Structure 1
Amino acid sequence: MTAVRWGVLTTARIAQDRFLPAMQKARNAVASAISSPNGRAAEVAARFGIPAVYESHDELLADPNIEAVYLPFPNGLHAGWIIAAAEAGKDVLCEKPLVGSLADYSRAVEACEQNNVTLMEAFMYRFHPQHQKVREFINSGRIGQIVSMHARFHFVMNRTPGEVRLQTGLEGGAINDVGCYAIDIMNMVMGRAPSSVFAKGTSPTDTVETTVAGILDYDGVIGTFDCGFEGPRTHTLQIIGTEGHITLDRAFDPDPGDAARVTVSLRDGRSEIFDIVEDQFKVEIERFSTWVRNPGHDVVHRELTEQNLAVRLAAHESRASGLPAAIRAVQPFEHHRLLQEQ
């Protein structure tokens, strides 16, 4: 298979620190263009051997050589650039969370379906083999029936002027930035969304929530999470079963070359430890590039994307009201239909 030719829109930190280094290791993908209006694209291109540099994203999207694009924009800009990329005929890998509203989800999905391009939310953690190991233990019954789960993701944010994750207009805040991981992984473990969520958060900046805790009710299984921008970096998952529990010490973002540890502890006192090394960004890029060469998908991981959006919307509703909020299933074009009926 010939390598898929990628374009990267913006010189965002995640593109430089994780995506482009992983792209250099990918077997079926190559970074062919990068764009940025801030004048930094040429320097980044030189560092990563990217041949084409554009001062505007529209110019990159117009390049017929580019087959797929990576969009690491601030959350609130995702929908617009997904649509622009789809209309340019590019397959789209967009950073998480894909969008923050039902309206934007409908618009983005519709644009990709009309233009026959693949769209995926870039939850890179899903591609780390530690989660395959977790699924094997659950499916084999090693820990019995799942009783509860707890996920957490914290880091200390540099509060630089203009920090996009602290801006409501760009859909910032702890729920969208790191809570989305905790929500997503519990939905992935359970294979479904919860029926309700109860979320509480703090907002010392009076703009967005910077620390959040929540309870997800999976009708017989309770999932809890906490996340935020105030505490030392930690990203863990624990799954409690009737016969044992599974613990992940780096559930979401182990550094390249560092082992992610999966620990299985059983009721009889036995335990097993597995240290797994993989660059999940590389796996994500290779998998998506394979899908580009084998089209026919609509939204890859569509159910997980829709479940995540539904829970985040309910979590925001619960935090605002102080009460539990029911999870309402996301239908891609329901928002458009309701508007037409009004």
Structure 2
Amino acid sequence: MNNTRRLRWGLLSTARISADVIPGLQRSSKNELVAVASRDRINAQDFAQRNNIGQTFGSYEALLDDPDIDCAYIPLPNHLHGEWTRRAVLAGKHVLCEKPFVADPSEATSLFTLADLRGVHLAEAFMYRHHPKTHALKQVIDSGELGEVHTIRAWFTYPAEDTRADIRFRPGMEGGALRDVGAYPVSMANYLLDAEPDSVVAARECDANGIDTRFYGLMRYSQGAVAIFDCSMQSHRTYGVTVLGSIGAAMLTCPWYSHKPPVHLEITTSAGSRHITPNGAENAYFLETENFADVVLSRRDPEISADETVRTSRTLARLHRAAS
């Protein structure tokens, strides 16, 4: 691909999460947001006008058929990720698909294989993984400053505004707390330990439709570490991650919205406490799409590999089965 021009992006749907991704695409020297598609053309036109997007399509298929679009961002409901990722890849588009990628790990593997065969880049949109604050925590663990990692505790809870209108509460759409917000602690634990758990234990609380509104998990790893997490879509808003080692501990107060304060990493050892403040002001969504462009333009390796995404998918599937 000619790496002297900006990559041309199209949005598949007008989902609310797009509002976090759009500003970074629009200020990038590598990316250019040119189009949005909706199954309702009027909705697409209204969204485009509000967000200064030049081109609209009345169907996802029409956007994917446009040869001038290089990349597709897919923020569709979870149960549609697999179908539209496959269609976009077959159309020759590079694809950034929102987390959680797909519920079936074997489908995740097949989609990455297809992307390789088609010569396009496919990535899961886990924005927190791109932030220097996340990298700083990983570096502290890898440096041995905390000693042997014993316990990772992570949590992500919030109160949904309107469960009746929220697609994450609808049966058959692969929503629920585990996939919506539990995916973050699961991804983080696997990333920090560079492994997936040997065994998992899980429990959940469900609503009348069988949707997990709260989820609790315990994951044991071969190196002796245990990760414990909880998540909720109907609890007071809280988030954080702590890592307890044999000689020290580290904590991120705001790990998931990683570009928001506090931006420091707190480390405590026998020598006392200190803060590490990485270059944390940059928006994580911007860093995500910048990395995506660099991969497409052969300037960098992907921050999140296919193996990591499949590993996360596999762990989520195991936890879901364990709580059933």
Sort the Cα spacing of 1:134 and 1:248 in 2 relative to 1 into closer, same or farther, 3 A.
Answer: same
Of 57, 78, 83, 2:81 maps to 78
1:22 counterpart residue number? 24
1:221 aligned partner: 225
Q: Which residue of 2 aligns with 1:46?
A: 49
Instruction: Report the Cα offset of residue 296 of structure 1.
Output: 11
Alpha-carbon shift at residue 138 of structure 1 (Å):
1.7
Q: Distance in 1 between matches of 2:320 and 2:44?
A: 36
How large is the Cα RMSD of the aligned pairs?
A: 2.0
* Amino acid of the structure 2 residue aligned with 1:52: Q
Measured against aligned partners, the alpha-carbon deviations of 1:231-266 in whole angstroms (never above 9, x if no partner) come to 122221101111211100111114x56442311111
CA contact (8 A) 2:294 2:300 kept: no
Q: 1:287 aligns with which of 281, 288, 291?
A: 291
Aligned to 2:320: 316
TM-score scaled by structure 2?
0.92
2:240 alignment counterpart: 236
TM-score normalised to structure 1 length: 0.88
Equivalent residues in 2 for 1:155-194, closer than 5 Å: 155-194=158-197
| 8 A Cα contact 2:291 2:303, kept in partner | no
Candidates 203, 212, 217, aligned match of 1:200: 203
Unaligned runs of 5+ in 2: none
Deviation at 1:55, TM superposition (A): 1.0
Query: Which amino acid letter does the alignment assign opposite residue 233 of structure 2?
Result: F
CA contact (8 A) 2:170 2:209 kept: no
What SS does the corresponding residue of 2:250 show, helix, strand or coil?
strand
Shift of residue 49, structure 1, vs aligned partner: 2.1
Displacement, 1:277?
A: 1.8
**Number of matched residues?**
318
Q: 1:137 aligns with which of 137, 140, 161?
A: 140
Distance 2:301 2:132 in 1: 23
Identity %: 29
2-structure distance, mates of 1:153, 1:170:
21
1:302 to 300, 306, 324: 306
Letter in 2 for 1:24: Q
Which whole-Å deviations, capped at 9, do the CAs of 1:55-95 have from their partners, x for residues lacking one?
11111111111001100011100000001101110000000
Which residue of 1 is the match for residue 16 of structure 2?
A: 13
Report runs of 4+ in structure 1 exceeding 3 Å deviation: 256-259, 295-300
Do the aligned partners of 1:118 and 1:297 also contact (CA within 8 Å) in 2?
A: no
Deviation of 1:160 (Å): 4.3
Q: Secondary structure at the match of 1:153?
A: strand
Deviation at 1:273, TM superposition (A): 4.7
CA displacement, residues 248-306 of structure 1 (integer Å, 9 cap, x when unaligned): 0111114x564423111112333325263220000000110111122998995112111
Question: Which residue of the partner structure matches residue 58 of structure 2?
Answer: 55
Secondary structure of 1:286's partner?
helix
The 5 Å alignment of 1:109-148 reads 109-148=112-151
Q: Deviations over 1:145-170 (max 9, x none)?
A: 21110011111112343421112311
Tell me how far apart the structure 2 counterparts of residues 35 and 289 of structure 1 sit (CA, whole Å): 21
- SS of the counterpart of 1:40? helix
8 A contact 1:149–1:240 mirrored in 2: yes
Query: Which residue of structure 2 lines up, in the alignment, with residue 266 of structure 1?
Result: 269
| Code of the aligned partner of 1:206 | N
Instruction: State the shift of 1:193 in Å.
Output: 0.3
In structure 1, what is the Cα distance between the partners aligned to 2:29 and 2:302? 24
Please report how far the alpha carbon of residue 101 of structure 1 lies from its aligned counterpart in structure 2 after TM superposition. Answer: 1.0
Alignment correspondent of 1:338: none
Work out the CA distance in 2 between the residues paired with 1:111 and 1:265.
46
C-alpha separation in 1, matches of 2:307 and 2:239: 23
Cα deviation digits, residues 201-259 of structure 1 (max 9, x gap) = 100333211101110001311100000111122221101111211100111114x5644
Cα distance, 1:298–1:116 mapped onto 2, change above 3 Å: farther
Task: From the superposition, tell whether residues 298 and 150 of structure 1 become closer, same or farther in structure 2 (CA, over 3 Å).
Answer: closer
Contact 2:158 / 2:236 at 8 angstroms: preserved in 1? yes
Is the 2:291–2:300 Cα contact (8 Å) retained in structure 1? no
SS of 2:140's equivalent in the other structure is helix
- Whichever residue aligns with residue 111 of structure 1, its letter is L
CA contact (8 A) 1:27 1:286 kept: no
